[in-house]
């Protein structure tokens, strides 16, 4: 039987455009689950979640490339920067799904989970759902109650 353990990651971005690595924060909330799946959902429409390489400079280069995808023109909704943030958020998407094996995120050697901020600085909230086979957890940190689930 599969169980779901919810948690929330709250964070503050500091710049208008920012790539923020959240991998270690996600990994810390797994609660010792040996095997399962971790689903992350960003509750915002001007940022996105993706899996990128952690190699130096690549995340920033990708952010620069994203900026070239938005044409300079008059938009019907609000400012051009705001519309661009919505477009890029929709392009990147609000969620990622990562397998969990042996109590850790089963990412590739260079893979990192990042938040792509397109209209900061802002307070952001990511819902984490750990789906694991019942009995797959171990240790005292296996329970993600409301207090243990918050990460700031």
Which residues on neighbouring strands pair with residue 130, listed in sequence order?
5, 38
CA 125 to chain centre: 9
Q: Are 136 and 32 in contact (CB under 8 A)?
A: no
Query: Which residues, in sequence order, are bridge partners of residue 64?
Result: none
Band of the pLDDT at 105, cuts 50, 70, 90?
Answer: very high
What CA–CA distance (Å, rounded) separates 57 from 55? Answer: 6
Mean model confidence pLDDT for the chain: 86
β-sheet bridge partners, residue 36: 100, 132
Taking each helix axis from N to C terminus, what angle separates 58-68 and 80-92, rounded to the nearest 10 degrees?
Answer: 120
pTM, entire model: 0.83
| Secondary element (H or E) of residue 39 | strand 35-42
pLDDT by residue (tens digit) across 60-86?
A: 999 999 999 988 877 788 788 889 999
- Residue 147: pLDDT over 60: no
């Amino acid at each position: 039987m599969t169980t779901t353990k919810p948690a929330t990651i709250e964070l503050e971005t500091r710049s208008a455009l920012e790539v923020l690595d959240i991998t270690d924060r996600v990994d810390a909330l797994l609660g010792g689950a040996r095997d399962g799946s971790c689903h992350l959902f960003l509750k915002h429409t001007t940022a996105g979640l993706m899996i990128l390489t952690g190699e130096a400079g690549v995340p920033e280069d990708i952010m620069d490339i994203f900026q070239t995808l938005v044409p300079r023109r008059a938009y019907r909704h609000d400012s051009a920067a705001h519309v661009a943030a919505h477009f890029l958020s929709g392009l990147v998407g609000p969620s990622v799904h990562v397998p969990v094996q042996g109590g850790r995120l089963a990412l590739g050697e260079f893979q990192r989970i990042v938040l792509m901020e397109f209209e900061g600085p802002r307070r952001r909230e990511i819902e984490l759902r750990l789906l694991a086979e019942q009995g797959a957890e171990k240790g005292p940190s296996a329970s993600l109650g409301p207090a243990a689930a918050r990460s700031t």
